[in-house]
Structure 1
Amino acid sequence: MVEGRIPEERRRRKPTKSGVLLSEDVIVDCALRLVGQHGPDALSVRRLGAALGCDPSALYRYFHNTDDLLLAVADRIIGETTRGFEPDTMAWRDGLRELALRIHRGYREHPRVAALAAYRVTRRVHEFRAVDAGIGLLRRAGFSDEDAVRHYSAFVDTVLGHAALDAAHLALPVERRAADDRAWEGVYAGLSAETHPQLAAVRGHLPLMAGSSFEAALDLLLSALAAAAPTRDG
Structure 2
Amino acid sequence: MSERVVPPAARRRRRPTKQGVVLSEKLIVETALRLIEEHGADALSVRRLGRALGADPSSLYRYFRHTDDLMLAIADELIGRTMRSWRPTGDWRADLRDLGLRMHAGALAHPRAAVLSSYRVTGRVHEIQAVETGLGVLRDAGFPDAEAVRIYHAFIDQALGFGALDSANVSLPRPVREAEAEIWRATYARLPADTHPNIAATARHLVASMGGSAYPAALDLLLTAAATRLSEIRAAAEE
TM-score normalised per structure 1: 0.92
TM alignment of 1:179-194, pairs within 5 A: 179-194=179-194
Q: 1:183 to 1:140 in 2, by over 3 A?
A: same
- How far does residue 84 in structure 1 lie from its aligned partner after superposition? 4.3
1:104 paired with 2:87, answer: no
Aligned to 1:36: 37
- How far does residue 136 in structure 1 lie from its aligned partner after superposition? 0.8
**Number of corresponding residues:** 227
Aligned to 1:48: 49
Unmatched tracts of structure 1, length 5 or more? none
- How far does residue 6 in structure 1 lie from its aligned partner after superposition? 6.7
CA distance, structure 2, for counterparts of residue 142 and residue 6 of structure 1: 46
CA distance, structure 2, for counterparts of residue 186 and residue 209 of structure 1: 13
Structure 2 SS opposite 1:119: coil
Q: 1:143 to 1:20 in 2, by over 3 A?
A: same
Please list the CA deviations of residues 95-114 of structure 1 after superposition, one character each: whole Å capped at 9, or x if unmatched: 11111011111111000101
Aligned to 1:115: 115
CA distance, structure 2, for counterparts of residue 149 and residue 29 of structure 1: 32
Please list the CA deviations of residues 73-127 of structure 1 after superposition, one character each: whole Å capped at 9, or x if unmatched: 111111112114233x321111111110111111110001011011111211111
TM-score normalised per structure 2: 0.90
* Structure 2 counterpart of 1:215, one-letter code: P
Judge conservation of contact 1:35–1:113 (CA < 8 Å) in 2.
yes
Please list the CA deviations of residues 179-230 of structure 1 after superposition, one character each: whole Å capped at 9, or x if unmatched: 1112112211112333322212211211111111010000000000001114
RMSD (CA atoms): 1.7
* Structure 2 counterpart of 1:165, one-letter code: L
- How far does residue 138 in structure 1 lie from its aligned partner after superposition? 1.0
- How far does residue 146 in structure 1 lie from its aligned partner after superposition? 1.3
Judge conservation of contact 1:10–1:62 (CA < 8 Å) in 2.
no
Judge conservation of contact 1:76–1:126 (CA < 8 Å) in 2.
yes
CA distance, structure 1, for counterparts of residue 136 and residue 211 of structure 2: 35
Unmatched tracts of structure 2, length 5 or more? none
1:83 paired with 2:84, answer: yes
CA distance, structure 2, for counterparts of residue 36 and residue 125 of structure 1: 23
Structure 2 SS opposite 1:194: coil
Structure 2 SS opposite 1:202: helix
CA distance, structure 1, for counterparts of residue 6 and residue 167 of structure 2: 31
* Structure 2 counterpart of 1:46, one-letter code: R
